[in-house]
Amino acid sequence: MSLNGRRYPENRAGEKHAEYSGLKEKHADESSLMEKHDSNRSNLSESKVRQVHNARKVTLKNLSMAGLFIALSLLGANVKFWGNTIALDSAPGFLAALLLGSGYGGFVGATGHLFSALISGMPLSPVVHMITAISMAVVMMLHGFLARKFGNGLGAIVIRVLVAILMNSVVATLPLIPILAWGMIVSLWVPLAIATTVNVLIAEFAYFFWRKNRNEI
């Protein structure tokens, strides 16, 4: 209340008290928001650290497994199917593509063929074997891609196995036409198809039992 434009002292004190209470509540709200923001930032930072740590663990694990598969390719390169370079060296590449991903599978597949060729002394020339290694990498990468795209149903497995056989025995030899005689390329199709069938089936059976042990089937 006022009288002649003047306010009573008790009213002024009440207004100041209300203003002080409002400022205090506002400050408390701001402090609460800042604490919440800092807490969220802390949680986010911890989450990012965990993600980076887990990613590094996965990468190291995959690299270790890729090294193991390359060693298996080196062993398989000594098991010859036909001639000097058609061997049991691509099964680890197919399996790496299924377990680790297309990139790892391609690397293991290419490395496996180069090991097989080196053991035999590069009988078809380094250029031919480099082209073949690149073709092997493409086949492995495609195999891993099909597995992730279409899953692991029976139909999907049959399709990707047939694609692998066709790609590795016929399509992969086509870039060699300017270098090798056509008759020689055609003569490689059957032994390559047989070797690819054995290699890819070994990889698929190993992958099947791996998923079964993980209760994914």
Using the structure block, give the residue that is written with the tokens 């870039």: 175
Q: Which domains does the chain have, with CATH numbers?
A: 50-211 (1.10.1760.20)
Cα–Cα distance, 185 to 180 (Å, whole number): 7
Residue 208 burial class via C-beta count within 10 angstroms: exposed 0-12, middle 13-18, buried 19 and up: middle
Do residues 112 and 91 lie in contact, with contact meaning Cβ atoms separated by under 8 Å?
no
Closest CA to 91 of 201, 199, 205, 214: 199
Closest CA to 211 of 102, 57, 93, 98: 98
Cα–Cα distance, 211 to 149 (Å, whole number): 17
In a structure prediction context, what are the per-residue pLDDT tens digits for the chain, which is 217 residues long?
Answer: 444 444 445 555 555 555 555 555 555 555 665 666 555 555 555 555 555 545 566 688 888 898 899 999 888 888 877 666 677 889 999 999 999 999 999 999 998 888 878 887 888 889 999 999 999 999 999 999 999 999 999 999 999 999 999 999 999 999 999 998 999 999 989 989 999 999 999 999 999 999 989 876 5
Using the structure block, give the residue that is written with the tokens 């020689």: 184
